A and B are shown apart, each in its own frame.
Chain A
Amino acid sequence: VCSLVLVQGVSVVTSSGPVEYPKPVPLHEQTVKDEKGRYQRFHGAFTGGFSAGYFNTVGTKEGWTPATFVSSRQQKAGRQNARPEDFMDEEDLGDHGIAPRQITTTADFASGRKDVIRDKARAITSLSAPIPGDTVLEDLVAPARSSMGVELLRKMGWKDGQGVGPRVKRRLCKQRADSATRAFGSASPPNGSSESQDEEDGEFLPENLTFAPKDVTPIDFTPKVDLHGLGYRGLNPLAALRGGPGAGHINLFTMDSDRTNSLFGEDRKGQRRRGGVAGQGFGVGAMEDDDEDIYHRDIMSNYDTVLGGEEPGDGLYGWTAPQQYNRTKKDHSKDAAYLGKILEGFTLASDKLETKTVGIFPPPNLPRDFRPVHYFRPVVDLSSVSPMVAQALQTSRGHMAQEAPSKGGRHQLDSAQRRELLGEATLQGSLLNPSRFAPHAEQQQQEALSVWSGPTAQAQTGQTFKPFERTPHKQARYDLYIDQLKQGDRDALELSLDPTMTEWERGRERDEFVRAALLYKPSSSSLSCRFTRGKQDDGVEADTVEVTRDQENDVDDKQAAVKMKMFGKLTRDTFEWHPDNLLCKRFNIPDPYPGSGFVGMPKVKRDKFSVFNFLTVSESPTASASPAPQGNKQSVPLYPDT
């Protein structure tokens, strides 16, 4: 093991030349000196503070010399306004002083970016000012100065309101014209009234006439961050504060409230007060005409008692005369009305929607016997409720009481059910040959049937014990078997078995089910509700211990399978097993369960009496011949051995 020692101050020669390491500065040399070599003294903080000057006075030994003051009869000293900069020294005017000097663009040459900020500030103040909307004071005070760019444009022939770019032939910018041709003489009209101009001069324009391009309307890129609806504009302050007939009641719910409240809306009789400060609270001046509504009287007709638009009929109120006057009034203002109602930031679409593509679809064809009455299918399973309730449900569904609803509908009947429906004579002989069953088994089945189809069994709702809880498929089949027993089906056993299982497996299941059905009879209903299945097996709990899940399966099945040499599904079990992370690393494979906290297999209960549970490394006696422990008992048997 070698360690590097760096000797300070010694230069190291590298390929690019000797590398100089800075020598360490001793404490007494850690001082700050200004450019003249004088020790700097600082007020306050260690660094970055103001210098103390010359012994806490002005900057130099010579002191601060004021500007000379001369005043004689001939030469009166000119008015010298003292600026703060006169009293500052180099340090103050430096980068870190109180008045750093920077080179910036003058207002003449600055771009319009700063104007935007100023405009926004102006807009804000305009709303909150006592004279809302009017920026009269601002306009008076701010110097009307245009930037150098604007000046240059003006000198090149641009005028206010025009766009910038090569001249175009027509207003609608269909072609681009030669810039050398003669320009249109007079001042270009504002954008708003361009259409009227076009209509008038369309025929009379000479061919080589060009126009300045249209000015771009600035798109506002401010995002919408509020939660108002689109096109929401609050209460118009002008309308709220101005006088006049509209002042008393602000109608928010009319259809065309936008227009009435717009700034450029009706201007009846001129506005009383230009500044917008009007209304009954402000009185009437001596010079003004008498205001009609000095005393504001509120009338109930200003207020709606119903929501708008609920007038019955067509609104004509019996008017039978021709409607041409009515219509024309609405017609030509329709467009304008529509334009007025377009939301901010939206425009009318240029091409109409094709009604074919987004069409109105016809209603569906109803079948002939369709009755628009819906009845609900019951959520309750018929077999798990009492017969009274079941009957009530059936009648409510519209089924006849005698008709037993077949499980899969009318397509899944078997021959017996079909025979019944058709009314044919029943076949002689049995449905399925019972000769396979031993008489004892037959007896057992009958017994099971009688037990489960009685009234007490029907009354049991959900408290049945599930003997095959650990294998859900088997449990499902067992449930099916029990259900069918309850319904009194003779062939419940056959029907509930899984046809995909092998013959041998089915035989086993058959026996198991019959035994389980006999063993776990439903108890009488009156007492059964007072008892409930214990969640834990109290007696066995103390003797059991957690083991891995692979031991809980039945070994007998497997032994039988091995004897019959049927390896494969019957003998194989697959479990989830978590390898240690380090083990995966050592084997150079990715961890299959990277996030798992435990290692090994998930555990279940088992007997704890095993020799090796007590063996530890330090305590173990001799190594010789530790006998294998007795075969461990299994957990609670699922069904007794008969």
Chain B
Amino acid sequence: MSFPQPKPEVPQLPQNLLRTIDCQQGAVRAVRFNADGNYLLSCGSDKSLKLWSVSRGTLLKTYSGHGYEVLDADGSYDNSQLCSCSSDKTVILWDVATGQVTRKLRGHAGKVNCVQFNEEATVILSGSIDGTVRCWDTRSRKFDPIQILDEAQDGVSSLKVSEHELLTGSVDGRVRRYDLRMGQLHVDFINSPITCVCFSADGQCTLTSSLDSTVRLLDKSTGEMLGEYTGHKMKGYKLDCCLSSKDTHVLSCSEDGHVYCWDLVEGSLMLKLPVGKAVVQSLSFHPSETRLLTAMEGRVQVWGAEPEETEEDVVVVQQEKA
């Protein structure tokens, strides 16, 4: 006896603003979900890195140690370590609970734009304006990187790591995918400085946003363009783009204060989130649910699919009743 198939859910968009967090960090350069999506990392221009709870919006810990603006951060899979990179050319490995600097990795010749852990948090990969990507070993006590990838001709603006691949986007207009398993490097020419690169969740495509105000979806194996998304404004700033958790939509920041959301397959604009008036600097999508983080100026916004009733309202009602 076969059970009836569950009705396919209509893909939901994070169109409702759930919360706004005032980070008090100067300008928020990057906002990131952690591995499970319960916590939020905000990188501030006041050299601090802050850890917040998403559901409550409360500040959990502040990590100080950088010498200049913190540009990017990432959390390990078990939430025990954080890594962050800064304009002071260093990458710092933090212990989450104690807030101590476990390791300060020096080696880049210019500001480090992007940083990420690999899947098992054994390697930290960082890309810098000096055109190199350095792979740092978290297990050993060595301060030298395991390998330096210097194929980029200009600064590396963004990088992402998967199980066996490393995707880097560079200002020289090329997306480089290093396949460690096959021992190959694939270079895709985009002709415009690249601001952000992402893997798709199924591992078949890569998303690239570049300074010609275009977000492109490229096939990983052949390099062909599967989709092109335009309408937003990305002309001068390094802004983020991402895919939704189920690869249904493409989202991108824009310099006009909105977040644009397109349908992946059709390429039509589905949603234009009014974040504010200034440039939306960074965004991050929840790993499994429909939840979005955006960063504009000094504040972080949390967006969800369904509007939640805020706690303040509930409290007010109760007090009134009492």
Give which listed residue, A559, A572, A584, A586, contacts B188 with CB less than 8 A. A572
> Which B residues lie within 8 Å of A562 (CB)?
189-191
Q: Across the interface, do B151 and A550 meet the contact criterion of CB distance under 8 Å?
A: yes
Contact present for A616 and B109 (CB under 8 Å): yes
Known: A567-B218, A567-B224, A586-B137. A575 touches B110 (CB 8 A): no
Q: Which residues of B contact A152 (CB under 8 A)?
A: none
Given contacts A575-B184, A579-B183, contact A558 B191 (CB under 8 A): yes
With contacts A567-B224, A567-B225, A579-B178 taken as known, whether A593 is within 8 angstroms of B149 at the C-beta atoms is no
- CB pair B188 A567 closer than 8 Å: yes
Pairwise interchain contact B225-A565, C-beta atoms closer than 8 A:
yes
- A551-B153, A623-B89, A623-B110 known; A592-B68 Cβ under 8 A: no
Q: Complex Cα distance A209/B1, Å?
A: 84
> Across the interface, which residues of A come within 8 angstroms of B135, CB to CB?
580, 583, 586
B178 touches A586 (CB 8 A): no
Instruction: Give Cα A588–Cα B180 distance, bound, in whole angstroms.
Output: 10
With contacts A558-B191, A572-B186, A580-B147 taken as known, whether A589 is within 8 angstroms of B130 at the C-beta atoms is no
Kindly state the separation between the CA atoms of A132 and B41 in the bound complex, as whole angstroms: 103
Known: A615-B109, A616-B109. A589 touches B147 (CB 8 A): no
Chain B: which residue is nearest A606 at the CB level?
B153
- Contact between B184 and A574 (Cβ–Cβ < 8 Å)? yes
Residue among B149, B171, B178, B228 making CB contact with A628, cutoff 8 Å: B171
Closest residue on chain B to residue A592 by CB atoms:
B183
B276 within 8 A of A: no
Segment of B73-81, B117-125, B292-300 engaged in the interface with chain A? B117-125
Q: A586-B137, A592-B181, A612-B109 are in contact. Are A623 and B224 (CB under 8 A)?
A: no
- The answer to whether A623 and B186 have CB atoms under 8 Å apart is no
Q: Per-position contact with A for B268-291: 1 when CB-CB < 8 Å, else 0?
A: 000000000000000000000000
Q: Does B146 contact A (CB under 8 A)?
A: yes
Given contacts A586-B118, A600-B147, A623-B87, contact A574 B123 (CB under 8 A): no
Per-residue B-contact encoding for A622-641, CB less than 8 Å = 1, 0 else: 01101011001000000000
Determine the distance from Cα of A579 to Cα of B178 in the docked complex, in whole angstroms: 9
A601 an interface residue at 8 Å Cβ cutoff? yes
The answer to whether B151 and A601 have CB atoms under 8 Å apart is yes
> Is A586 in contact with B122, judged by CB distance below 8 angstroms?
yes
How many angstroms from the CA of A623 to the CA of B118 in the assembled complex?
Answer: 27
Q: How many residues of A contact B (CB 8 A)?
A: 47
* A612 and B130 in contact, given A550-B151, A588-B120 (Cβ under 8 angstroms): yes
Q: Is the CB of B183 within 8 A of A578?
A: yes
Contact with A along B105-119 (1 / 0, CB 8 A): 011111100000011
Tell me whether A379 is interfacial, beta carbon within 8 Å. Answer: no
Q: Does B247 contact A (CB under 8 A)?
A: no
A572 touches B183 (CB 8 A): no
Binary CB contact string for chain B from 172 to 208 against chain A (1 if under 8 A, 0 otherwise): 0000001111111111111100000000000000000
In the assembled complex, A569 has its CB within 8 A of some CB on chain B: yes
B180 x A583 contact (CB < 8 A) = yes
Chain B residues positioned under 8 Å from A612 (CB to CB):
109, 130-131
Contact B107 A617 (CB under 8 A): yes
Residue of A nearest to B155 (CB): A628
B184 near A587 with CB under 8 A, answer: no
A584 touches B180 (CB 8 A): yes
A592:B182 contact, CB within 8 angstroms = yes
A574 and B185 CA atoms in complex are apart in Å by 6
Is B88 located at the chain interface by the 8 A CB criterion? yes
Residues of A within 8 A of B182 (CB): 592
A558 with B189, Cβ < 8 A, contacts A583-B135, A586-B146 known? yes
The answer to whether B180 touches A569, judged by C-beta atoms less than 8 angstroms apart, is no
A451 to B269, CA, bound (A): 59
In the complex, are the beta carbons of A550 and B185 less than 8 A apart?
Answer: yes
How many residues of chain B have a CB within 8 Å of chain A? 53
State A315–B129 Cα separation when bound (angstroms): 101
A601 touches B185 (CB 8 A): yes
Known: A567-B223, A586-B139. A617 touches B109 (CB 8 A): yes
Query: Are B191 and A589 neighbours in the complex by a CB distance under 8 Å?
Result: no
CB-defined interface of B63-93 with A at 8 Å, one 1/0 digit per residue? 0000010000000000000000001110000
Closest B residue by C-beta to A550: B187
With an 8 A cutoff between CB atoms, is B154 at the interface?
yes
A576 to B186, CA, bound (A): 9
Does any Cβ of A come within 8 Å of B310's Cβ? no
Instruction: Give A600 to B150 CA distance when docked, in angstroms.
Output: 9
Residues of chain A lying within 8 A (CB to CB) of residue B178: 577, 579
C-alpha spacing A626/B185, complex, angstroms: 27
Give chain A residues whose Cβ lies under 8 Å from the Cβ of B187.
550, 572-575
State whether A583 touches B123 (Cβ < 8 A): yes
User: B164 contacts the other chain (Cβ, under 8 Å)?
Assistant: yes
- Closest Cβ of chain A to B29, distance in Å, is 15
Determine whether A143 belongs to the interface, using a CB cutoff of 8 Å to chain B.
no
Q: Which residues of A contact B171 (CB under 8 A)?
A: 628
Residue B2 interfacial (CB < 8 Å)? no
Contacts of A587 in B (CB 8 A): 118-120, 122-123, 163-164, 180
Contacts of B129 in A (CB 8 A): 626
18 contacts between A and B (CB under 8 A): A567-B188, A572-B188, A573-B186, A573-B187, A576-B185, A577-B183, A579-B178, A580-B135, A580-B147, A583-B147, A584-B180, A586-B139, A587-B118, A589-B181, A592-B183, A612-B109, A616-B109, A623-B89
Residues of B within 8 A of A (CB): 68, 87-89, 106-111, 118-120, 122-123, 129-131, 135, 137, 139, 146-147, 149-151, 153-155, 163-164, 171, 178-191, 216, 218, 222-225, 228
A567-B223, A582-B146, A586-B137 known, 10 other contacts, Cβ within 8 Å: A551-B153, A562-B190, A563-B191, A577-B178, A583-B180, A586-B146, A615-B130, A617-B106, A629-B154, A632-B153
